[in-house]
Amino acid sequence: MSPSPTAIRKTVEAYLGRHPGERDALAGLLAALDRPVDLTARTTRPGHVTCSAVVIDRQGRVLHIRHRATGGHILTPGGHIEPGDRTLLAAALREVSEEAGIAPGALCLTRQLLGSPIDIDVHDIDANPSKGEPAHCHYDFRYVFYLAGEEPPTIVLQDAEVSGAQWLPQPEVTSPTLRAKLIAAGLDGRPEPVNASALIHNGAGRYLLHLRDHKPGVIWQSGAFALLGGGRTHDDQSLEGTLLRELSEEVPDLRLEDVKPYAVEAATSIDGLSVPVQVFTGRWGGNTDRLRLHEGVLVRWFTPDELDRLRLSPATRDLIRQHAAENPPDTGSAVAPAVWDGGSRTVLNGVGVHLHLEDAEGRVLLGLRHPESKYAGDTWHYLAGRCEQESALSCLVREAWEEAGLVIDPADVELAHVVHVVDAPGSLPLMQLVFRARRWEGTPEVRETDKCLDWQWWPRHELPDRLVSYTRTAITAISEGRAYSQLGWPPAARTAPPTVPTAAGTDDAQHDRSLGGDAS
């Protein structure tokens, strides 16, 4: 879908904020934006929007091509907007790809412009009787890109429209307005990071990752885990300032310690551009459940050996593992594991979380576990997981996304049943928490094929024969309104309340003292 009038106006107003003296020159464009017309259509009269790409190499030279349609004039690559162009910038990228064969991945944004047009040029176009086009004007939005690589890419010209190409020094750029703005901006063609992200660790071997919203074409790295951070703005004084601003917008309660540059990561934008990202390291050891999250689905701690389970950029995965290898866990900060106390009857209990979902027909969602699964292979079971260093609700939300692609808001969850299970004498007791979600987003899909083969909705009175026993117990108990059940434990013996023996002749005051009473 082509850029909307609102998006175009926003771009124009931001441009005029930097070039207020050009408002009169763009009065026709602003007036056209008030009319109910599609300014991106080439048939719109008396004028319409076009886009150009100003590509600068490492020597500061600007790519020019010879357009056949303009009688051989040497210009920067550019042309009309197509219906599939998501933004004006995307239209400029498509034009340079079509006319010069330079793919978006070979280009990157500049720190000075950050994806804003360097120039909006208004020029007249002569009538073309052979195409039935009257005289009109173009409002040309010009976007600057650097070459991401050291060497210029091979130019592959679009023969039907282009007859030649050359790199011109900036003082020789053919457009006077563009030439003046290029020289004033000091664009040297050398890429530098325009995004910043945070490699956040707790000093004990865990790393904080952010699950982004699943909005393809709108959000960068949509639906994937990523580092917190974002793109630089014109108001940011430094990349560290960019990072701190992004963190305050995404997770305002998070306060990093020992922030310092670590590495530059190569990423790819929604439009396919190369994006150098300055990665900072920072330390934080708080509870993710207490963070207010203003963007995305969740934030959670992971260890490096858990990363292969996540949808995560390979570059980010490698960066975390590199940092982990260079920075062994600080054992003084690590959480001590639970241990048996030889002088106490207190023992460790594991905690599992389970998702009880019912569709509109009252059917329950169950998954068929992989035959080679370590637990309950080839058997149906709730969507479930074992709590790690996290709250039960965080575990539930994470497992729902990782296993089935379901997005659940903790506010829509309630505890439906608890099953206290011991599989065999002497084995680890398990407190199995079953949560019911009243609402969710998404359709169940198999996302961890090594654990689950299929998701199906089952009527409660027609449950599969091969069903985990405590799952069957929980489903039955929930339908009956019971909150607790237990499996594998010996029957609880009924015991009398403790008594306090008294010797002959003991007076009432002594008896009161033995029970903790007040004998005064």
Q: Name the percent of the chain lying above pLDDT 90.
A: 68
Token couple for 282: 């920072």
Please report the pLDDT score of residue 450 as a whole number.
84
Token couple for 95: 């034009």
Is the entire prediction scored with pTM above 0.85?
no
Query: Domain 195-326 carries which CATH code?
Result: 3.90.79.10
Q: Count CA within 13 A, CB hemisphere, residue 519.
A: 10
Mean pLDDT of 365-390: 88
pLDDT digits (tens, 9 = 90+) for 230-246: 999 999 999 999 999 99
Question: Which residue ranges make up each domain of the chain?
Answer: 5-185, 195-326, 350-487
Token couple for 363: 């059917």
Residue 389 confidence (pLDDT) above 90: no
Please report the pLDDT score of residue 506 as a whole number.
38
Asked whether the beta carbons of 5 and 39 are under 8 A apart, the reply is yes
pLDDT digits (tens, 9 = 90+) for 60-74: 999 998 877 666 688
Asked whether the beta carbons of 141 and 33 are under 8 A apart, the reply is no
Comparing 129 with 31, which gets the higher pLDDT? 31
Query: Domain 350-487 carries which CATH code?
Result: 3.90.79.10
CATH 1.20.140.10 applies to domain 5-185: no
Mean pLDDT of 35-63: 95
Q: How confident is the model at residue 289 (pLDDT cuts 50, 70, 90)?
A: confident
- Give CA separation, 485 vs 372, 420, 463, 472, in Å: 29, 7, 19, 11
What phi, psi does 354 have (nearest 5°)? -140, 145
Amino acid at 457: W
| Rounded CA separation 355/376 (Å) | 17
- Give CA separation, 383 vs 12, 394, 447, in Å: 50, 14, 12
Q: How confident is the model at residue 513 (pLDDT cuts 50, 70, 90)?
A: very low
Q: Where are the alpha helices (H) located in 344-468, listed in sequence order? A: 392-404
Please report the pLDDT score of residue 260 as a whole number.
94
How many of the other CB atoms lie within 10 Å of CB of 499? Answer: 6
Within this chain, domains 195-326 and 350-487 share the same CATH topology:
yes
Q: Name the percent of the chain lying above pLDDT 70.
A: 89
Task: Spell out where 184-297 has E strands.
Answer: 195-201, 207-211, 225-226, 228-231, 257-268, 274-283
Please report the pLDDT score of residue 497 as a whole number.
54
Tell me which of 227-231, 268-272, 443-447, 486-490 is least confident: 486-490
**Please, which residues have CB within 8 angstroms of residue 246's CB and are 6 or more apart in sequence?**
196, 228, 229, 230
The average confidence (pLDDT) of the chain is 87
What are the respective helix, strand and coil percentages of the chain, to the nearest 5?
Answer: 25, 30, 50
Please report the pLDDT score of residue 504 as a whole number.
40
| Rounded CA separation 383/62 (Å) | 56
Terminal Cα-to-Cα distance of the chain (whole angstroms): 87
Comparing 69 with 203, which gets the higher pLDDT? 203
Asked whether the beta carbons of 403 and 421 are under 8 A apart, the reply is no
Please report the pLDDT score of residue 496 as a whole number.
54
pLDDT digits (tens, 9 = 90+) for 310-360: 999 999 999 999 999 999 875 444 333 333 334 445 667 888 999 999 999
Please report the pLDDT score of residue 192 as a whole number.
95
Dihedral sign for Cα atoms in the order 283, 327, 261, 317: negative
Tell me which of 237-246, 285-294, 377-386, 394-403 is least confident: 285-294
What does the longest C-alpha to C-alpha distance in the chain come to? 126
Mean pLDDT of 87-112: 96
